[in-house]
Amino acid sequence: MASLASSLSPVLLILLLSASFAASASTIQEQFIQCLFVNSQNISIPLATAFFTQNNSSFSTVLESSAQNLRYLVPSAPKPEFIFFPVHESHVQASVICSKQLRLHLRVRSGGHDYEGLSYVSQIESPFIVVDLAKLRSINVDLKDNTAWVQAGATIGEVYYRVSEKSQTHGFPAGLCTSLGVGGHITGGAYGPLMRKYGLGADNVVDARIVDVNGRILDRKAMGEDHFWAIRGGGGGSFGIILWWKIKMVPVPPTVTVFTVTKTLEQGATKTLYKWQQVADKLDENLFIRVILQPASAGAKGGRTVTTSYNALFLGGADELLQVMQESFPELGLTKKDCTETSWIKAVLYIAGYPSETPPEVLLQGKSTFKNYFKAKSDFVKEPIPETALEGLWERLMEEDSPLMVFNPYGGMMSKIPESAIPFPHRNGTLFKIQYLSLWKDADTGKAKPHMDWIRNLYNFMAPYVSKLPRTAYVNYRDLDLGMNNNGGSEDARVWGSKYFKDNFNRLVRVKTKVDPDNFFRHEQSIPPLSQPH
Ligand SMILES: Cc1cc2nc3c(=O)[nH]c(=O)nc-3n(C[C@H](O)[C@H](O)[C@H](O)COP(=O)(O)OP(=O)(O)OC[C@H]3O[C@@H](n4cnc5c(N)ncnc54)[C@H](O)[C@@H]3O)c2cc1C
Ligand SMILES: *[C@@H]1O[C@H](CO)[C@@H](O)[C@H](O)[C@H]1NC(C)=O
Ligand SMILES: *[C@@H]1O[C@H](CO)[C@@H](O)[C@H](O)[C@H]1NC(C)=O
Ligand SMILES: *[C@@H]1O[C@H](CO)[C@@H](O)[C@H](O)[C@H]1NC(C)=O
Ligand SMILES: *[C@@H]1O[C@H](CO)[C@@H](O)[C@H](O)[C@H]1NC(C)=O
């Protein structure tokens, strides 16, 4: 039927569909397709390449295409009835209208990087469908206006590439990982190596086009300032489907400098990291130094150690960088030999971990370099973690198979933007963010438990050293543990809501109540509306 449908005119198809299916109780997918044609403003739908039911032989490949967390692709994970790839905005509008009509639970996917698989797995409702925006990925850069319209299905790497193609001195401050979908990424904040100079991706959005719960397309003016506030940091999947962001580009110098300097425990990693914690948020705003922590083999003597890698981007040349480092962080011992001067777009590839000499065109493939079974968590730190606690951290890291931690510096512009400017509240007073990860390769779900236990124990161990009341977390590092009480039951949304958004959670709930009172856009941790008197 699929290939037949694609070659027919919509009108004829509707007649055919009505004739063959309407009388009998047709399947959900048949009813959905029928409804799509009626509601797609006569924009034809290439069904053969746009619609995948569970019994299509390509279903798994398509489901897995952009999904990042293999933990949510195991056979026991719930699967969507079908996956639909809109090729036109009106198909997204029709998807909302038809899901409502047929009482189908809808999930939307842009880049598929959700840590808890929320864009392609529903653990709370069945049946559900996935609307995947991968075919809506246009990018229109307007140098004169200093802005770009970017479509939700594009990756952030494609955005960087298209900006740099037009100008070597324009950039955009968003994620380090280049395969992130701009649809989901910017809805949660979007931080990266330019954040200390320019803030988050979400701080640099000036307009948007979304599909609301009634299937209408709204821009900033039409949705109003409350709704526009909520979509810039309030997390994906709660306030409508983003079709486009209009982003403001930022200036970058023609020459930037990158480096990675690694210290092991034997090379004084503990003392250097203690010092980094005191300076990282106070450094020159042009300098971003994150630290990647991993266990490693200790070399000839045997045993294990921990490596701390200082991975940095400086908006300027190497000589100036060396001066800044000499003044503020001489303990790292940075030398000119460690530094590479390059262009901003090549620095993007460097920070994303591509081998040197990889051409920037790799960004156009939109492929991710990271697919794992993993569990992650996050924390924000307001006072340096004492050396004794760092020692405890090393022990824990050395016990686990494949853990990873990243310390990500704040300060600079991040401190100047008020907490309530957008829903992302982690601003002045934050020294750095911690990300904890455990990765594994074994599909056997039984093998996940020790890793889940390990990361949860580590999280408990860190409690005294991180933000408190609430202990805050980054919504783009979605963590379903945060909504659970000790008995595994779910708690009030306020618990995770205040961790991700602090006081901004209240305003998010008010906006949600106004724009989606019946909670059509929902998932395990979507913003709830206040219950309505019916
Ligand atoms: C390897 C890796 C590296 C990362 N690096 C960074 C980083 O450097 N900086 C950073 O800030 N974050 C980073 N993240 C986190 C990332 O920002 C979030 O996972 C983000 O939600 C991904 O967006 P997506 O479109 O790829 O994901 P998806 O899984 O497609 O979507 C994420 C959520 O948003 C919803 N959503 C998706 N598209 C839309 C849309 N068009 N409209 C409304 N809601 C939508 C989904 O339903 C889901 O709830 C990283 C994640 C991974 C896996
Ligand atoms: C679709 O096309 C049919 C036949 O040409 C027309 O009657 C109908 O009004 C069109 N619908 C929309 C939404 O444009
Ligand atoms: C599966 O989808 C493909 C499109 O990718 C289509 O060509 C094929 O006909 C579908 N197969 C079935 C059995 O529906
Ligand atoms: C897929 O399964 C549905 C229902 O299970 C069935 O109606 C449909 O014909 C099947 N499609 C194909 C292409 O096999
Ligand atoms: C940040 O907080 C510190 C101390 O709490 C305060 O002195 C400083 O003025 C604040 N900075 C901004 C930009 O608000």
Q: Where do the structural domains in the chain lie, given as residue ranges? A: 2-132, 256-341+371-483
Using the predicted structure, report yes or no on whether residue 88 has a pLDDT greater than 50: yes
Mutating to test ligand 4, I would choose from 27, 47, 57 the residue with most ligand atoms within 8 A of its C-beta, which is 27
In whole angstroms, what is the distance from residue 181 CA to residue 151 CA? 9
The b-or-e profile of 96-133 (16+ CB within 10 A means b, else e) is bbbbbeeebbbbbbbbbbbbbbbbbbbeeeebbbbbbb
Using the predicted structure, report yes or no on whether residue 12 has a pLDDT greater than 50: no
Place of tokens 């708690």: 491
In tens, the pLDDT along 76-85 reads 999 999 999 9
* Identical fold, 2-132 and 256-341+371-483: no
Using the predicted structure, report yes or no on whether residue 232 has a pLDDT greater than 70: yes
Q: Indicate the fold that domain 256-341+371-483 takes in CATH.
A: Vanillyl-alcohol Oxidase; Chain A, domain 3 (3.40.462)
In tens, the pLDDT along 189-222 reads 999 999 999 999 999 999 999 999 999 999 999 9
Query: Whose CA is closest to atom 14 on ligand 5?
Result: 416
Burial of 237 (0-12, 13-18, 19+ CB in 10 A): buried
Residue 533 confidence class, pLDDT cut points 50, 70, 90: low
CA pseudo-torsion sign 374, 379, 381, 384: negative
Task: Among 133-147, 287-301, 381-395, 486-500, name the one with the lowest average pLDDT.
Answer: 486-500
What pLDDT is attached to residue 487?
61
In whole angstroms, what is the distance from residue 11 CA to residue 38 CA? 8
What pLDDT is attached to residue 16?
46
In whole angstroms, what is the distance from residue 149 CA to residue 74 CA? 36
What pLDDT is attached to residue 444?
83
Return the amino acid letter for 52: F
Query: Whose CA is closest to atom 13 on ligand 3?
Result: 56
Answer whether 54 contacts ligand 4 (Cβ < 6 A).
Answer: no
Residue 301 confidence class, pLDDT cut points 50, 70, 90: confident
In whole angstroms, what is the distance from residue 174 CA to residue 363 CA? 15
What pLDDT is attached to residue 8?
44
| Class of domain 2-132 (CATH, top level) | alpha beta
Using the predicted structure, report yes or no on whether residue 259 has a pLDDT greater than 70: yes
CA angle 231, 232, 236 (to 5 degrees): 55
What integer is the mean pLDDT of 445-458? 94
Q: Would strands 287-297 and 403-409 be described as parallel, antiparallel, or unpaired?
A: antiparallel
Could you give phi then psi for residue 383, rounded to 5 degrees? -140, 145
Q: Is 120 a catalytic residue?
A: no
Task: Among 7-21, 80-94, 507-521, name the one with the lowest average pLDDT.
Answer: 7-21
In whole angstroms, what is the distance from residue 317 CA to residue 290 CA? 19
Ligand 5 atom closest to Cα of residue 428:
1
Using the predicted structure, report yes or no on whether residue 397 has a pLDDT greater than 60: yes
Mutating to test ligand 1, I would choose from 108, 377, 515 the residue with most ligand atoms within 8 A of its C-beta, which is 108
Task: Among 93-97, 274-278, 318-322, 353-357, name the one with the lowest average pLDDT.
Answer: 353-357
What pLDDT is attached to residue 486?
61
Query: Whose CA is closest to atom 13 on ligand 5?
Result: 416
Ligand approaching nearest to the C-alpha of 40: 2
What integer is the mean pLDDT of 330-349? 98
Q: pTM for this one?
A: 0.94
Answer whether 55 contacts ligand 4 (Cβ < 6 A).
Answer: yes
Could you give phi then psi for residue 244, rounded to 5 degrees? -140, 145
Using the predicted structure, report yes or no on whether residue 3 has a pLDDT greater than 60: no
